[in-house]
Structures are given as structure tokens and as C-alpha cells.
Amino acid sequence: MTAQQQPTPTAVRARGLSLHGKRGVVYGPVDLDIEAGELAVVHGPQGGGRSSLLLTLAGRMKPDAGADLLVLGEPLPRCRRAVQRRAAIAGFAGIDDLDESVTVGVLVRERLAWLAPWYRRVPRVTQATFERLVGPVYGPRPVPRVDSVVWDLDEVDVMLLRLALATLQAPELVVVDDVDQVHDSVRRQLVWSRLEALTGAGTTVVASVASLDEVRRFTWTRAPRQVFLATGPHATAELAAPDSVSAATPAHAR
């Protein structure tokens, strides 16, 4: 078999993945196959377990016992620390919220300091440094000034900044919650385009949204894999059929 014929590695493989809490089913059972460098869109209503599923894939939440879950080649939950080093999160309420009273430069410096060895001093972040660090996330969109206060940023730049901070650790997997917190659909297209750009560079992205017709309404370079979560005592995750989206290429689904 030639190098061109090698199969694409699997970033996420799940069989019978589920989570129960005191009030019953949080999500699952879920079967997933997500290729490395692929964009997967998780649809589900409020309270449907979208955030919990994404946190599980990133090694931040422990699922029910008995599931078969492999993320980036690491079995979960046994190798959670290894996955946490290789996976990043963005967009999660109460987890990676931004302090709206500080400047963009301060936030970036704090994240760089957190990632650096304790003995290494992190200098003030200049505009040139910031643009270099976040360029892959912002793409053609002008990046904010480092002296901008977060409060003054619009919702697109806030989402992209949260994503940029997540990518500073050079993750192989990024999970992004609640993309529809960017409320305007025209502006949300920009966010989806930037998430697609990350996958083009080889990063696997799993993002959640409440809208069930999200993929159909947007333009894609490569149609993303879709996962639909349902709630209730018999909740399951369903993968979309290949013809369920309108895009230049068919959806990849199993």
C-alpha cells in the first residue's frame, strides 16, 4: 500500500459511550468515528448533553463505566491526563469565560504564562506577537488590538479569541461548545469557516450547536460529519446520512 493509499487515522472512536447523573441520562449511548483533521458538528437541544459529551472527548469529564472510548489513540478515561495535554476546549460557559474587564494582551500573556515552565518569564505581548500567534484562527479577519478591553469586542471576536487562546497549546483536538452563542447566522458563517480552516491544518474539531439545520444553512469546503443528540430515557446519538446536507462534497457519516 502506497503512502497515498494509507487510511486517515481516527481521532475519536466511541462505542456505547454514555453518561448518567442524579437526574438520569445526560447523553448516550453514543457511537462515534471521527477522522483526524475532520470537523464534526454535534446538534442537540438545551440540556441534551452536548457540553458534557464534548468535555468527555477532551478528557475533562468521566463517562459511565463500560464504554469503549479512544481519543487520539489514548483510552479514556484511563489516560485522561494524556488527552488533556493534546486536546483543548473553547466556548464553555463557566470554564473558559473571558474576564471582560482586562485587555486582550493581558489574557494572552496569562495563557502563555500558564503554558510555559514556571521558571520562564513571559514578556508583554506586542501586537506583532499577537498577530503571529492568532493568525491561523483569525485568518483574513483583522485581529483586535492588544490594548482592546474584552468588553469592547463583538461576539465574533470574543469567540475567535477564546478559540485562539485554546490553540496556543498546539492541540491535536479542539472541542468548541455552543457555536450559536454567535447569534447572527451571517456572522456565524465566519466562525464555521475559521473552524474549517483549523481542520485544513490537521487539527480535529468537534463543535456543538443547538440548531438542527445548522449544516444545511451554511457553505462548506468539505461537509462536516454530523451527530444528533436526543434526550430522554432512550436517548441516542444518530449520525446524519450522506445526503442530509447541501455542500460541495457529501457528508462523511457512518
Question: What is the pLDDT at residue 46?
Answer: 81
Mean pLDDT value across the chain: 88
Question: What is the pLDDT at residue 76?
Answer: 95
Question: What is the pLDDT at residue 235?
Answer: 43
Tens-place pLDDT, residues 48-106: 899 999 999 999 999 999 889 999 999 999 999 999 999 999 999 999 999 999 999 99
Superfamily for domain range 8-99+174-244: P-loop containing nucleotide triphosphate hydrolases (3.40.50.300)
Instruction: Tell me how far apart the terminal alpha carbons of the chain are, to the nearest angstrom.
Output: 24
Q: pTM of the prediction?
A: 0.88
Q: pLDDT grade, residue 168 (50/70/90)? A: very high
Task: Return the minimum-mean-pLDDT range out of 42-51, 152-161, 236-245.
Answer: 236-245
Tens-place pLDDT, residues 28-46: 999 999 999 999 999 998 8
Question: What is the pLDDT at residue 248?
Answer: 28
Phi-psi category of 178—alpha, beta or left, where left has phi over 0 and alpha has psi -120 to 50? left
Write down the domain spans for the chain. 8-99+174-244
**From CA 84, how far away is CA 66, in angstroms rounded?**
21
Check whether 129 has a pLDDT greater than 80. yes
Adjacency order of strands within the sheet including 87-90: 87-90, 173-176, 204-209, 39-43, 225-229, 237-239
What is the maximum alpha-carbon separation in the chain? Answer: 56
Question: What is the pLDDT at residue 6?
Answer: 62
